[in-house]
Amino acid sequence: MKLQNVALCAVLAGALFILPSCAEIQCGGSKANFQNQYENLLEKIEDLNYDLDDKRWKPFDERFRTLVEECYPMYEDEMSEREKSEFWLSTLEFYSGRYGDGLAEVFRNQGEYISEEVVENLEEVLEHTGRKLEDFMDENGQELERLFEEVGKDIEDWAERLKEILEQ
């Protein structure tokens, strides 16, 4: 009986070491591998043209949810602000492509399709991105206006030159 208890304890102790390593393998084992797995999944999903409720979405949805909700937190501290922003903007693109016109419903029914933490991260990135764009426009608005004027003049010159060439 004691031998069985020792063996059971050894198996349980071994499982404690194996389970975290399984999660690491599932999540890539490194930030770079995780990012590659995520990008590869998004590329596969991009080509799918299933109906919203098609059962073929299930493995993709499950893998996506694992990468976003379980794996991302493992590597979040290693990621730069830009990498985090790109990750969450890609996540938003997935939801938009996956749910299309039903996207609003997805955000209304958090928990069924999307976790509260994911929504918070998306909101934070969108707010941050909006602030960055607003700051950029404030700092560079006049310069951009001049650039657009120059480009417009160049286009007019090209169009005039093209007209001359065609008339010959």
Q: What is the pLDDT of residues 37-51, one digit of tens each?
A: 999 999 998 888 888
The total of structural domains in the chain comes to 1
Q: Is residue 158 part of a domain?
A: no
Greater confidence (2 vs 158) lies with 158
Q: What is residue 64's predicted lDDT score, i.e. its pLDDT?
A: 93
d(C-alpha 109, C-alpha 93), whole Å: 18
d(C-alpha 63, C-alpha 72), whole Å: 12
Full residue range of the structural domain in which residue 129 is found: 2-139
Q: What is residue 72's predicted lDDT score, i.e. its pLDDT?
A: 94
d(C-alpha 85, C-alpha 124), whole Å: 9
Alpha-carbon distances of 56 from 50, 59, 67, 112, rounded to whole Å? 7, 7, 18, 17
pTM of the predicted model over 0.85: no
Q: Is residue 144 part of a domain?
A: no
d(C-alpha 19, C-alpha 25), whole Å: 10
The answer on pLDDT for 31 being more than 90 is yes
Greater confidence (10 vs 53) lies with 53
Q: Is residue 28 part of a domain?
A: yes
> If you ran DSSP here, which 8-state letter would residue 54 be given?
-
Q: Is residue 41 part of a domain?
A: yes
Q: Is residue 105 part of a domain?
A: yes
Q: Is residue 166 part of a domain?
A: no
Q: Is residue 35 part of a domain?
A: yes
- Residue 88 corresponds to which amino acid? W
Mean pLDDT of the 18-42 span: 79
Mean pLDDT of the 119-141 span: 73
Q: Is residue 156 part of a domain?
A: no
Q: Choose from 19-28, 79-88, 111-120 the range with maximum mean pLDDT.
A: 79-88
Q: Choose from 3-12, 49-58, 112-121 the range with maximum mean pLDDT.
A: 49-58
Residue 127 Cα to chain centre, angstroms: 16
Are 87 and 79 in contact, with CB atoms under 8 Å apart? yes
d(C-alpha 124, C-alpha 155), whole Å: 39
- Residue 100 corresponds to which amino acid? G
